[in-house]
Amino acid sequence: MKSTAVAAESRFVSWALAALFWFVPLWAIFAALDPERPGLPLIAPRNAVLVFGVVALVDFAIVAIVGLRAKQPRAVRIAFLSGGVVAIVTGLCGFDPVTGVAFGIGAAGVELGGLAISAAGPQTTRLCLRAFLWSSLCACLAALVMLGARHPAALYEYDNARAVGTFLNPNELAAYTVVALGGAVPLAIYARDRLASVTAIVLAATLAATFSRWGIVSAACGVAAFALATRSRSLLGATIGIALAGFALNAALGARHHNPVDLEMRGAAWSVGIATFERFPLTGVGALAFGRTYDAMRTPDAPGSQHPIAFDPHSIPISVAASGGIVSLVTLLASTIFLQRRVYFAAARAPGASRFVAIGLASGLIGLYVDCLPNTIVIFFPLMYQTTALALALSRNAAVAE
């Protein structure tokens, strides 16, 4: 009787962890519920979004408990959990303590989910890998269908006829595809996995449909990182080909899908973010409090507080520095570097296809980091921690990818 209960609990936990990968492409739909954010139409009924939010919160609560019990070395636990703890502290010191602390608690929940996945066994690891493939395939198919149908029309016009789907903007979708390609392509090539092959094709088509110029650069950096890690000279040559093909596509068609004003606005956002960091260098203004100080920090020629750039500096490093100061920035850099090195070292010892898939996921994360330099990606933290954790779990459970 006891063994049956344990098995049932194990299956329950496995599905709860796998569900985290389905939530990632849907994180951005909550931003449209914020009445202060202009130009973001709802792509699903408000009640449906609220129900999804309740389900997600319950799942994260379950996963957080699992993460607290996960067995990992102390250094790994600190690397996973330090960001949420620091976000709570800097939130308390910011201009919106309630929101800042809530964000920190949410970040800690995301990190606990990653910690739980990193310690998963073979069954859960395989389920999470399949969930990542299926969720990315469905999310990208939805984005392509919405683009082809020009629905919702307001979203199609707002994003200049670029693929966006359930994400906050085309650049965010591009970043997601870069990471997902890091897992799908090696699994398709080295394990001849059919689902991974189909997913890789759809992901590549979606990346092209975003017309994200920096997304192409990020993808090329991810391929270069994979080539260096696997010591493949031919792939280094392919990196140049990918970059040239991407730039050729944007040169031929991309100009129709980009507003020249966007680059100027991005520069204005960066300058306000840097000015905010200079004014509050230690702990920043607090998580999600950038908009509260925007008017006081912006230059006279910068757009007003109702413009989208007033909500974040449109760059992950600048955003973290402005929101959490040098404390948060150093914490994020240190934990990211530690976990990235950990994944590469663990993957190098893994046999067969698992080695290449784990390296591919880590290399996709390199692409994500590059993409986030001039962009703010809402899904950065869940995508980063869950992908890192999945790569660690794959390295340990090598038979999963065979």
- Tokens for 275, please give them: 């000015």
Q: What is the chain's alpha carbon radius of gyration, rounded to the nearest angstrom?
A: 20
> According to the model, what pLDDT value does residue 301 have?
74
> According to the model, what pLDDT value does residue 241 have?
76
Contacts of residues 198-201 at CB distance under 8 Å and 24 or more positions apart, as own/partner, are 198/137, 199/133, 199/136, 199/137, 199/140
Q: Are 171 and 30 within 8 A, CB to CB?
A: no
- Tokens for 395, please give them: 């390295």
> According to the model, what pLDDT value does residue 26 have?
87
> According to the model, what pLDDT value does residue 7 have?
42
- Tokens for 70, please give them: 């996960």
**Number of other CB atoms surrounding residue 123 within 10 Å:** 13
Q: SS3 helix, strand, coil % of the chain, rounded to 5? A: 80, 0, 20
Show pLDDT as tens, one digit a residue, over the chain (402 residues).
343 333 444 889 999 999 999 999 988 777 666 655 555 666 777 788 888 888 999 999 999 999 999 989 999 999 999 999 999 999 999 999 999 999 999 999 999 999 999 999 999 999 999 999 999 999 999 999 999 999 888 788 878 889 999 998 899 999 999 999 999 999 999 999 999 999 999 999 999 899 888 898 899 899 999 999 998 877 777 777 777 776 676 666 656 666 666 666 788 889 999 999 999 999 999 998 998 899 888 877 777 777 777 788 989 999 999 999 999 999 999 999 999 999 999 999 998 899 999 999 999 999 999 999 998 888 999 999 999 999 999 999 977 776
Q: Which of 157, 101, 161, 168 is nearest to 311 (CA)?
A: 168
Q: State if pTM tops 0.85.
A: yes
